[in-house]
Amino acid sequence: MKPTIFITRKLPEAVIQPLKEKYEVTMWNRDVQAVPRERLINEAQRADALLTMLSDRIDETLLETARELKVIANMAVGFDNIDLAAASKRGIAVCNTPEVLTDTTADLTFALLLATARRIVEAAEMVKQDKWRGWSPLLLAGQDVHHKTIGIVGMGKIGEAVAKRASGFEMRILYHNRTRKPEVEKQLGACYASFEELVEKADFVVCLTPLTAETRNLFTLEVFQKMKKTAVFINVGRGPVVDEQALYEALETGEIAGAGLDVFASEPIGADHPLLKLTNVVALPHIGSSSIDTRTAMMDLCVKNIDAVLSGRRPPTLVNQDWVTKGIVQ
């Protein structure tokens, strides 16, 4: 029998055709709605491969029943939705989609920074809602971005790409990371800073850090209170790194000036979310890498990862380097 693959979201037929030619492919046929947990578990019990989204929880409970599973291809750079230790213990390769989305996500990050700083969304809505009655010297006056200080928390590939864009605006670049990046410092004039120094000095605090035990709830009320009153907070990393109640309080009381958010602690959020009630918040539906070119490239990389493992080869973007295969050549 052919190996079986389950895809947890509707993908274009042209993308998955190479898999269909060699394998038995089943796909959850919804664009936005997540596959129900029960269906995911049932499919995993017989699947040799899963092509998953960041919103799919692949935990010990699911993996202990997935006897045939050999590879999980996650369509994201992040993989905090997958229990890596449990997967490695069972000889399951876990793959992600790094590199291909770096520039697209950096573009979105800087666009969100600009939109928040210059109050673009508020201004556009004023015109659309027929509330523009005239001109005044400080009508929807925002903040300049050029020549200001950007503080990047999490200087991975995306952080580096954001820093490049910031250099074009002649910004001073501070960054905080687990390890220093001498080449980035040399090429872009970026300066390493402690987390405390960064949040105190930056005009724009940009969070791009992955979600780990150390970064969960990294941004607390105390942290926001250390920022400048004029600071703008941007999060295109992971929602749970922020205490959202603390962020709400900081924005409502004027501890910081604004926030641009592409990610939230629990997604999707509803219109009743407290942060959406604030005019100084620009909220996006987790679209950091969402361009046609990039999302297609991410899908293609997932397909290549799955085909590699099921064909007895090492996948291009293996996450769990301690992977011990189920009879597969490395």
User: How do residues 96-121 score in pLDDT, each as one tens digit?
Assistant: 999 999 999 999 999 999 999 999 99
Token representation of residue 145: 């971005």
pLDDT of residue 326: 55
Nearest Cα neighbor of 308 from 17, 18, 9, 11 is 18
pTM as predicted:
0.91
Verify whether residue 176 is a known catalytic residue. no
Secondary element (H or E) of residue 51: strand 49-52
Can you list the residues of the chain whose pLDDT is less than 50? 327-330
Residue with tokens 């990047």: 152
Secondary element (H or E) of residue 50: strand 49-52
Annotated catalytic residue: which of 9, 165, 286, 295?
286
CB within 8 Å of 62: residues ≥ 6 apart: 40, 41, 44
User: How far apart are the C-alpha atoms of 116 and 111, rounded to whole Å?
Assistant: 9
Annotated catalytic residue: which of 43, 238, 255, 295?
238
Q: Which residues pair with 232 in a beta bridge?
A: 204, 258
Secondary element (H or E) of residue 282: strand 281-283
Let me know: does 151 contact 204? Beta carbons within 8 Å: yes
Task: Give, rounded to a whole angstrom, the gap between the first and last alpha carbons of the chain.
Answer: 23
Phi, psi of 280, deg, nearest 5: -95, 25
DSSP string, 192-251: E--HHHHHHH-SEEEE-PPP-TTTTT-B-HHHHHHS-TT-EEEE-S-GGGB-HHHHHHHH
User: How do residues 200-238 score in pLDDT, each as one tens digit?
Assistant: 999 999 999 999 999 999 999 999 999 999 999 999 999
pLDDT of residue 121: 97
DSSP, collapsed to helix, strand or coil, labels residue 172 as strand
What topology is assigned to 4-98+292-310 in CATH? Rossmann fold (3.40.50)
Verify whether residue 214 is a known catalytic residue. no
Q: Which residues pair with 207 in a beta bridge?
A: 153, 235
pLDDT of residue 325: 67
Secondary element (H or E) of residue 165: helix 157-168
Let me know: does 256 contact 278? Beta carbons within 8 Å: no
Nearest Cα neighbor of 188 from 206, 173, 207 is 173
Secondary element (H or E) of residue 42: helix 37-44
**What b/e sequence results for 245-258 when a residue is b if at least 16 CB atoms lie within 10 Å of its CB, and e otherwise?**
ebbbebbeeebbbb
Token representation of residue 164: 């490049």
Sign of the C-alpha dihedral computed for residues 202, 203, 207 and 212 taken in this order:
positive
Distances from the Cα of 5 to the Cα of 20, 44, 51, 317, angstroms: 9, 9, 8, 18
Verify whether residue 30 is a known catalytic residue. no
In this chain, the answer to whether the domains covering 4-98+292-310 and 102-283 adopt an identical fold is yes
Q: Which amino acid is at 194?
A: S
Phi, psi of 33, deg, nearest 5: -65, 130
User: How far apart are the C-alpha atoms of 152 and 199, rounded to whole Å?
Assistant: 9
DSSP, collapsed to helix, strand or coil, labels residue 256 as coil
User: How far apart are the C-alpha atoms of 247 and 140, rounded to whole Å?
Assistant: 22
User: How far apart are the C-alpha atoms of 8 and 29, rounded to whole Å?
Assistant: 8
Domain ranges of the chain: 4-98+292-310, 102-283
Q: Does domain 102-283 have CATH number 3.40.50.720?
A: yes
